[in-house]
Every structure is written in C-alpha cells, then in structure tokens.
Amino acid sequence: MDEQGSARIDRRELLRRGAVGAAAAGVLGSSAGQAFAGTSARAASAGVELWNWQAGNAYPNIFAAAGKRWSAKSGGKFHQTSVPFTSYFAKFKTAVAGGSTPDVMEMSWTGQYHDLIKAKTLLPLDASLKKGFPAFFQTVMDSLAYHGKHYAIPLDLNTLTIAYNKSLFAKLHLKVPKTLDELIALAKPIRDAGFQPLSVNVKDGWPDGDLWFAQVAYTDPTGKAIRRAETGAIPWTAAPFVRAAENVQKMKDASLFADGSDATDFNGNIAAFATGQVAMTYPHGNFSTGIIAKAVGSKFAWDLFPFPPLKAGAKALATGGPAIIWSIPAKAKNPEGALDFMRDTTDKIGFAALVKENFIPSAKASVSSNPSAIYRRMVSFQPTAATRAIFVPDVYTALLNEMQGLVTGGSKPQDVVKAMQKAAKSAK
Amino acid sequence: MTDFAPELPQRTLAERVFDSLRERSSPGRFAGSLVCFFVGLVYVIPLVWVVTEGVKASSDIFSTSPFPHSFRISNFADAWRQFQLGTLFGHTIVITIGTVVLSIALCVTAAYGFSRYRSKLSEGVFVLILTGLMVPPAAIIIPFFLTMRHLGLYNNLFAVILGETAFALPLGILLLRGYIDNIPTELTDAAVVDGASEWKAFRYVVFPLLRPAVATVALFTIISTWNGFLLPLVLLRDTATSTLTVGISQTAGQVGQLSLQFVAAAAVMAVVPVLVILIAARRYYVQGLSAGALKQ
Amino acid sequence: MSSSGRAITRRAGALFIAPAAVFFAVFMLLPVIAVIALAFTEWTGFSLGQIAWRGVGNFRTLASDDVFSKALVHTVLFVALSTVLLNVFGLGLALLIHSRVRGHDFLRIAMFLPLAVSPAITALIWQQILGPYGFVNLSLGRSGLGVIHKPIGFLGQPNLAFATLIAVAIWQYSGYNMLLYYAGLQSLPAERLEAAAIDGAGWLNRLRYVVVPYLRPVIAVVVVLNLIGGWKVFELVYVLTGGGPNRSTEVLSTYLFQQAFEFSRVGYASSFALVIIALATISALARSRISGTVS
C-alpha cells in the first residue's frame, strides 16, 4: 500500500516537473531569437535570399546594390548570406533537406553542378532566359548546358593568369617569359636574389587542378580532349593529359614553386605576394584582382600574364570560363523574385557596376566608363581562354587530389592520370 | 638566502619558474625543472601567440618577424562586430545552458534509478547507455540530422541541445551512478519511513549530497557543448550566425579574409569564458576525472 | 555499494530511469539503427522516396575505394599512435609533476589549459602557427634563429602532415591523461618507492616494478578512454588540414562527411559509419579483454 502510494506520488511529481521543464524549455526556445525562429519567418516575406561564398572582394557590395534596386521595385526584402566555401555544398544540401533553400545561389560550375542537376535540386532556366536577359556569350552558355538545358545563369567571366611583381621584375632585370622553359628558368635568378618565384595556394585544391588545366591548354591543340575524355571517347591516360602533368612536374623539379606553397591557402597566397616575398602568384583573375589591388596598395606595380606557351612564337592561352554563375534551387520559395534580381545584376546598370570593379560581364556590355588597365588585360585574354572544367565530379576530385600530391611530393604524373581514369570507371 | 624567504603565495608564476631554474640541489632535479619549463612552454606558447596575434595592427599581420610590434586593443571591438560575436555568444550560451540543464536532469534521475533499483533489465539498459560512449558523432550525424528535420527542428538551437545531451548522457550517468553508489541507502530509508515519497527522499536527501558530482558533470558538459563543432555545423543553417566555434573557424578560412588579427581576437574571446570556468572549477574537473577512473 | 539497506521500488526505479532511457533510445539508439540500415541503401539524401536498397553493394565499393582504405589506415594509425603517445606523455609528465621539482606547478597548469580550447579553435591556431609564414617557421628562419633556409611543410608535406596532426592531438589532450595519472599517483604510498630506491632500483625499474603495476587499473581505464576518444576525431582534421594534402590526413569521419554532405552519397557514407562504430566497439572490448586476462 505504502509503496504504491509513494510510486503514484512519484509519477505525479515527475509529470509535474516534466511539464515545468517543458515550459521552461519553451521559454528558452522562444527567447533565443533568429536560429530558433527557424524557417517559418523567412517563408512569410516574398523576399529573396542569395547565397554566395564571396567575401573580401567587391562582389558582396555589387550584390547588395542590385538587391537594393530589386527591393525598390518589388517591395521584397533582399538578403545576402555568405557561406564559407569549405562547407558551402554541405550547408546547401542540409538546407535543401531541411526545407529552407535560398532563392538564388552561387554555383560551382565544375563538379557539384552536374551532381545537383541529377539530384533534381536545381530549376531549368531556359524559358526564363529568353525574358529580359542579355544574350550571354555562346561559349559560356555551352559550358553551362547539361543535356541541352541550362540550370545556371552566368554573371561574369574569369581568366586565370599569373600575377607578377612588375617592380621586382624590373629591379632584377627579368622579362615576362615567352615560353614555359623561360618561366622555369626564372626560378634561379629570383631565388638567388633572395625572393621566392611562384606562389600557388596548393592547400585549397582547385589551384592544383588549374596548374594542370593551364598546361592542357597547350598539350591539347584540338581543345576538345577534356570533353572527349568525359564521354569516354579517349581515356584520361591519353598523351595530352600525361604531358600536362609532366610539365607541372618539371616546374616542381626546377623549384619554381615558392617554398611553403604546399601549405598555402588563398589568403596566404595573396599575403605572400602583397608583402613582396614572392615574385609571382597563381591563379588569379576576375575574382581576386580586387583583393590583390587592395592588399598591394601602392607598394609596387603589378600585372598579369597567362602561363606561357611551350614553343616560342606560339600564342599565349589563358584558361577560363564563367566566374560567378547562379542557380535557383528547385525548392526556392521565390524563384520569380530571384530571376528578377538576376535581371537587375545583368542589365546595363548591373554590368556597369561589374566593370567598375574589374569584373568581366558575361555578355557584350557597352562599357561607358574608362576601364582599368588590369580590366583591359583580363578582357584581352578572354576570347582564347581554354577550358578549366571537368564535369565528372569524381574525376575532377581525383585530379585535384593527385595534383596536390604531385606539387607537395609523393604523386607522379602517371599517378595523376591513372587516378582520373580509375575514378571515371567507378563513376559509371 | 632562500632559506629565510618562505614561499609566499603572492609570488608570481614567472618568479617561481625562474627560481626553479636556479635550484641546483641535484642535477636530476635540475634537468626535471628544465623539462617542466620547456614542455610547459610548448603548451603555453600557442595560447600566448593567439593573444599577441589578436592585438596586432593590420600592418603587422604579415610581417616577417615572429614577434609582434604593435598593440591594438581595439581589435577586440572590431572582431566583435565583424564576426557578429553578439549573436554567436548568444547562441552558444543558450545551447550550453540548455544542454547542461537537460542532461543533468536526465543523468541525475537515471543514475539514481540505476544505483538504487537493480534488475537484469535495468543493468542491461545501463550497459546499453554506456555503449553510447563509443559512438562517434560523425557516425550518426546523417540519421540524427534526418530525425531533427522530421521533428521540424532543422536550424533550431533545440536540435543542437538534444544532440549534445544525447552525447553527454553516458558519461554523466556513469559518473553520477558511481557517486550515488557511495551514499548509504539508510539516509533515504529513514526519510521514506518518515512518510516522504521516493521522489521527496531523492530530491531533498540525495540530490543535495550530489552537488560536487553534479558540478563535475556540468563542467564536462559545458566544455564539450561550448566547444562542439559537428552538430551546430550540420544542424544550424547559417554558418556566420551559428555558434562560436563554427562561426569563427569557418569564417576564418573564407576567401579574402586577410584580417587574421580579428580571427585571433575572436578566438581569444571564444576561449576565455570556458578557460575561466575550467580554472575556477578545476577542483571538480580533477575530482571527477579521478573518481571516474578509480571507480572502475 | 548499496547492497545493504532498502532499494527503491520497481515502479519508482522505472520512473527514474525512463526519461533518460527514452531520450537515449530516440536520439542515440534510433540513429545508430538507422545508420546501419542506410548502409545497405543508395540515397542522395534529398527525399525519402529516392532510397533504393543496395544490399552489400556499398561494402563491395568500399573494398575497391583507395581513398577509403587510406582513410581507414589513417584512422587506425591515429587511434593507435595517439593512444600510445598520450599515455607515454601523460604518465611521464605526471611522474615529473609528482616528483615536485621546481616548476612542476607551471607545467601542470600549462598542460591543463588546452582542455578548455575547442578542437576546431586548436586546429585554427596551430594551422597559423605551423603555416609556411607562421610563427614556428619565422622563428626558425632567416628573421629568427636562422637554422632553416626554407619553411618546413608541417601541414604541406604529405609525410609530415599526419605527424603534425598527431602532435596537435597530443597538445590538445595530454593534459587529460596527465591529470588522471597524477590523481592515481597521489595515492601511491611513498614508502613503496622509497623501499625500492633503498633496494637500489633505478628510476626505470621503479617505474616498471612499482609505479606501473600500482597504476594498472588506472592505465586500463585511461587507455579505453583514449581509444574511444580517438575514433571520434573530426574537427581537428576538418579544420587543420581538410584531409590533405592529397588525402594524407584523411580519416573515416572526414571522408564520411565529404561523401554524405558534399557528394550526396548518403548510403555509401553510412557504410563508413558502420565501420567506425564496429571498430570503436571492438577496440574498447578488446582492450578490456586484454586487461582482464593480464590482471
């Protein structure tokens, strides 16, 4: 009897305490602000949320300005969320699964792009592209096509080149190299003078892929080898791909890469250049020249040149393609608003804002203002820019990892292409 | 000389270290002191470094000298704004307090039940909960995320509280049960005979005695929750406004983030609260560790 | 122990245990069961309707996945090396502190401090310190001691990065072991050591015949704790190296994260989870079995 009674009281007491606890937790929850509010608050307004991984350059300001114009017209709220690149796609996938996708997002046009289309997470945009958008350059649109459809809109273009310290080159009586051998030969005089030759942000992975793409531009005169290898028409172990990796190996063997490049990230790369410790830095274009300009200031003069050709007299080719491309997630709550926002960034005013910050618009734009020397330099490389994309994520990942291995030591040129071929096989 | 100078408590650490190097009573002890000093430096230097980095001027941040040449206390205010530390602190504090309250409530009651009521079933449940110690967060983050999504808790601080609590339960219950085992049952028996319910006997007789053990469990939970990374990274949507560890460590690597002095200043501010709590409550930390270890 | 006196009733016991048990079942047991089930499926993780049964297919893919085998080897090495080194450092430095040489307080406090620092922040700090233009390389280089001519690639050289990762883990966690061993040494009767010393035993023999046997139960627990902790490594790697260069520091948890959240292979990633949980359980059980047979 006594026992039963006490057990009953126990339960009642426990229930009471449980209720108090739940109420307390509720209060805690409602007072915690934004993150507790979760997705419901966002859904209520017909706003547009943009995701991008840009920071430290002029893009966020350009987007904010375009967002302001869009808000003024539509009355909706524009919100920009900066998501660090390291976890960008992990965050996007959890956001999709969690039912709170952004309305428009910066997309990576290699690797992830095709994966996300296959998983049906992006909207096809072909119908919308005919309404109120400029005629984007055909080569760029081609690179964004997936089975004939477009799931992204290009904002601007990128050419990847080497930035070099003009003042230091003059001081050391060095000339801009005309061939790969001349570039490699620069390593010694620069090192002898107590400086470092070519800094690359090897840690980030993608620049290691770009070292290889820059060489494929020359080792594959047809310009089609990468596209053909993607379809399986030729293997990734084909000669142009091997030679491209071998060229990078040659650079490494000649100590062309700055000491410490192996653990340098994007910011470290800029810092090494801006502090005058390295004579050259790669890969730079559209997205980073503004950051370099800010970091260098008036300390020294600098300019850009593409990786030089293999033979003297041949034309120098940069690699490139779209810079920022935008997609609309299939579950976006305001896709129409997102499209209107994109129209505002790609119209006359939008493009003028890009040019002002040395970004190259993705369609013919009447450039009224006087563009800078750096801008004109980047535009001059654009028409002949070779591809820097592999659209099979596993192959692209294998390339980045093995090229990182090659530059840091451990992988040989053959390892790079073999790993790519193996990845292509297992991806099927 | 030193014979006449008693060890006064107000002597600074630096003085003690200096003295330790002068004492040469035996070569072995002197070598031991040297090891203490240099190994200790390895532990301290990174923390000192991050403080000096945090007060560097931006012009000094990429200098080629290993030592700082500037002092900008205002970096802390700038870092506070740039990293939205107000929001990050708010979220981290709510998650930490929520986890501590919830996990203590669950651990204390369960530990009492496991200690005072023993059957094959309860022992089985106890062992099952202990196996939770062996589950790495990364291993179950996918289904955990899915569960939270279906509960409508994605991007909700509660999801993180629930997750951190799940990982705090096994150790908390283990430590507290060991502690309760050492409390004589006669205490509660007397209370129950006097007419108090089992709950009241627990609440007013046993629970007050548990304070040191609860403090220990709370301390462990505070440290692991405040410093948690994977759960907030996956369960909260916006990196920049999630928690201190995620917000600072992820924003630090962002393209164009050249203000390393602000990163360092933010890191210092994120670490200081736990460091202060740990040092202030180190007694409970050490006791808890040794109790937990010697128990088994 | 509570064997004497009166235990609480079954109902009360159940009521006390139930909240935690239910919570544990929902938020730990259920996910573990779910991840085991997911390991046999193919799924992008976006919508439940797309889950497809794949049987043991994921495990067959595992067997031929070079990155997985790298990650597996690194994880096992990380657990083994960090456990051994944490115990060597932890016990060695606890003995030093226990000997109360001058400066022992400084070392004890210094080792204690990293316990408060989040592994993610630890990784961030060491990444800067050990970087090519970081404090250590600058101190050793031209503007410092001048003993090196080019920066050491602590995090950039594939063969060095893994050692660096272990070293950072030791920095982070050795204070934990030191405290446990120090607490164990506190109760070691001084006479035992003195008796051994009078018998002419050197410090190594005293360690071997007096200290280690005395601490055996503590060592057993500490080793299990280190093993369990080792399998949980994630953010230290994720923030410090991201698994690079060229996967030389990739561990199972970071590869799982990449496969699940970046490549949308939730089913495949779940099969790693199964491997991690199995390994962690086996190692913990094996350790207790070994210590059981020894004692």
Quote the CA–CA distance of B95 and B247 in Å, as a whole number: 14
Residues of B in contact with C36 (CB under 8 A): none
Smallest Cα distance from C159 to chain B, Å: 23
Q: b/e for B114-142, b at 16 or more Cβ within 10 A?
A: bbbbbeeebeebbeebbbbbbbbbbbbbb
Please tell me which of the candidates C115, C120, C253 has its beta carbon nearest to residue B138.
Answer: C253
Q: Which residues contact A353 (CB under 8 A, 6 or more apart)?
A: A62, A65, A66, A345
Q: Which residues contact C74 (CB under 8 A, 6 or more apart)?
A: C162, C248, C249, C250, C251
Reduced to 3 states (helix: H, G, I; strand: E, B; else coil), residue B70 is coil
State the virtual CA torsion across A82, A83, A88, A94 in degrees, nearest 10: -110
- What is the tens place of the pLDDT at every residue in C94-113? 988 988 888 889 999 999 99
Task: Inform me whether the C-beta atom of residue B128 falls under 8 Å from chain C C-beta atoms.
Answer: yes
Smallest Cα distance from C82 to chain A, Å: 23
- What is the tens place of the pLDDT at every residue in C129-184? 999 888 999 889 877 788 888 889 999 999 899 999 999 999 999 999 999 898 88
- A241 secondary structure, DSSP code: H
Partner-chain contact B242 A35, CB within 8 Å: yes
B52 φ/ψ angles, rounded to the nearest 5 degrees: -65, -35
Residues of C in contact with A3 (CB under 8 A): 9, 11
The more confident residue out of C4 and A271 is A271
Q: How many residues does chain A have?
A: 428
Reduced to 3 states (helix: H, G, I; strand: E, B; else coil), residue A156 is strand
Residues of A in contact with B241 (CB under 8 A): 34-35
Torsion sign (Cα): B82, B86, B87, B91: positive
Smallest Cα distance from B208 to chain C, Å: 17
Is residue A70 within 8 A of residue A346, CB to CB? The reply is: no
Low-confidence ranges of chain A (pLDDT < 50): 1-11, 14-15, 18-44
Contacts 24+ apart (CB under 8 A), B22-27: B23/C102
Quote the CA–CA distance of B170 and C228 in Å, as a whole number: 13
Residues of A in contact with B236 (CB under 8 A): 35
Partner-chain contact C244 A205, CB within 8 Å: yes
Please tell me which of the candidates A24, A54, A95 has its beta carbon nearest to residue B255.
Answer: A54
Residues of B in contact with C183 (CB under 8 A): 286, 289-290, 293-294
Task: Inform me whether the C-beta atom of residue C263 falls under 8 Å from chain B C-beta atoms.
Answer: no
- What is the tens place of the pLDDT at every residue in B163-190? 999 999 999 999 899 888 888 888 777 7
Residue among A100, A203, A395, A422 with most chain C CBs within 10 A, to mutate:
A203
Please tell me which of the candidates A5, A39, A84 has its beta carbon nearest to residue B254.
Answer: A84
**Between the CA of residue B24 and those of A343, B8, B16, C102, C164, what are the distances in Å?**
79, 21, 14, 10, 35
Q: Does residue A235 have a cis peptide bond before it, meaning omega lies within 30 degrees of 0?
A: no
The more confident residue out of A152 and C264 is A152
Is residue A285 within 8 A of residue A378, CB to CB? The reply is: yes
Tokens representing A407?
């530059």
Q: DSSP of C6-71, one letter per residue?
A: -PPPHHHHHHHHHHHHHHHIIIIIHHHHHHHHHTTEE--SS-GGG-EE-TTHHHHHHHH-HHHHHH
Please tell me which of the candidates B16, B23, B249 has its beta carbon nearest to residue C121.
Answer: B249
Chain A residue with CA closest to B254: the answer is A84
Q: How many residues does chain C have?
A: 295
Smallest Cα distance from A362 to chain B, Å: 22
Whole-number pLDDT of residue A133: 93
Burial degree of C24 (CB within 10 A; 0-12, 13-18, 19+): buried
Q: Does residue A124 have a cis peptide bond before it, meaning omega lies within 30 degrees of 0?
A: no
Percent of chain B with pLDDT strictly greater than 90: 50
Q: What angle do CA B46, C136, B14 make, to 5 degrees?
A: 45
Is residue A308 within 8 A of residue A179, CB to CB? The reply is: yes
Q: What angle do CA B141, C113, C167 make, to 5 degrees?
A: 65
- What is the tens place of the pLDDT at every residue in A126-171? 999 999 999 998 888 888 999 999 999 999 988 899 999 999 999 9
Strand A360-361 with A156-165, pairing: antiparallel
A176 φ/ψ angles, rounded to the nearest 5 degrees: -60, 125
Other C-beta atoms lying within 10 Å of the C-beta of residue C186: 11
- What is the tens place of the pLDDT at every residue in B257-289? 788 899 999 999 999 999 999 999 888 888 777
Task: Inform me whether the C-beta atom of residue C188 falls under 8 Å from chain B C-beta atoms.
Answer: no
Smallest Cα distance from A101 to chain B, Å: 10
- C187 secondary structure, DSSP code: T
Whole-number pLDDT of residue C51: 86
Burial degree of A363 (CB within 10 A; 0-12, 13-18, 19+): middle
pTM: 0.88
Chain B window 36-65: which residues touch A at a Cβ cutoff of 8 Å?
Answer: 62-64
- B208 secondary structure, DSSP code: H
Whole-number pLDDT of residue A50: 95
Strand A78-82 with A48-52, pairing: parallel
Quote the CA–CA distance of B197 and B191 in Å, as a whole number: 8
CA C266 to chain CA centroid, Å, is 25
Smallest Cα distance from B214 to chain C, Å: 16
Contacts 24+ apart (CB under 8 A), C72-77: C72/C252, C72/C275, C74/C162, C74/C248, C74/C249, C74/C250, C74/C251, C75/C231, C75/C233, C75/C251, C75/C252, C75/C253, C75/C276, C75/C279, C76/C279, C77/C162
- A261 secondary structure, DSSP code: G
Task: Inform me whether the C-beta atom of residue A14 falls under 8 Å from chain B C-beta atoms.
Answer: yes
Quote the CA–CA distance of B71 and A84 in Å, as a whole number: 29
Residues of B in contact with A100 (CB under 8 A): 154-155, 237
Quote the CA–CA distance of A205 and C109 in Å, as a whole number: 39
Which band of pLDDT confidence, cut at 50, 70 and 90, is reported for residue B251?
confident
Quote the CA–CA distance of C276 and C254 in Å, as a whole number: 12
Task: Inform me whether the C-beta atom of residue A266 falls under 8 Å from chain B C-beta atoms.
Answer: yes
- Candidates A297, A296, A318; CA nearest to A377 is A318
Chain C residue with CA closest to B182: the answer is C1
Tokens representing C152?
């050491």
**Between the CA of residue B176 and those of B48, B64, B106, C47, C203, what are the distances in Å?**
36, 52, 11, 42, 38
Please tell me which of the candidates B17, B33, B223 has its beta carbon nearest to residue C116.
Answer: B223
Partner-chain contact A295 B154, CB within 8 Å: no
Partner-chain contact B199 A275, CB within 8 Å: no
- C261 secondary structure, DSSP code: I
Whole-number pLDDT of residue C145: 84
Reduced to 3 states (helix: H, G, I; strand: E, B; else coil), residue B66 is coil
Chain B window 156-215: which residues touch C at a Cβ cutoff of 8 Å?
Answer: 162-163, 165-167, 169, 173, 180-181, 184-186, 188-189, 192, 198-199, 202
Quote the CA–CA distance of A26 and A21 in Å, as a whole number: 9
- What is the tens place of the pLDDT at every residue in C235-248? 999 999 999 899 99
Smallest Cα distance from B282 to chain C, Å: 9
Q: What average pLDDT score do residues C188-209 get?
A: 74
Number of H helices, E strands in chain A: 21, 14
Quote the CA–CA distance of C194 and C201 in Å, as a whole number: 10
Q: Return the partners of chain A (3 or more C-beta pairs < 8 Å).
A: B, C
CA B283 to chain CA centroid, Å, is 14
Chain A window 399-418: which residues touch C at a Cβ cutoff of 8 Å?
Answer: 401-402, 404-405, 408-411
Other C-beta atoms lying within 10 Å of the C-beta of residue C278: 13
Residues of B in contact with A90 (CB under 8 A): 233-234
Residue among A2, A6, A289 with most chain B CBs within 10 A, to mutate:
A6
- What is the tens place of the pLDDT at every residue in A270-293? 999 999 999 999 999 888 888 999
Quote the CA–CA distance of B126 and A24 in Å, as a whole number: 28
Residues of A in contact with B231 (CB under 8 A): none
Percent of chain C with pLDDT strictly greater than 70: 93
Residues of B in contact with A34 (CB under 8 A): 87, 241
Chain C window 124-153: which residues touch A at a Cβ cutoff of 8 Å?
Answer: 130-133, 137, 150-151, 153
Is residue B245 within 8 A of residue B271, CB to CB? The reply is: no
Task: Inform me whether the C-beta atom of residue B107 falls under 8 Å from chain C C-beta atoms.
Answer: yes
Task: Inform me whether the C-beta atom of residue A94 falls under 8 Å from chain C C-beta atoms.
Answer: yes
- What is the tens place of the pLDDT at every residue in B74-97? 999 999 998 899 999 999 999 999
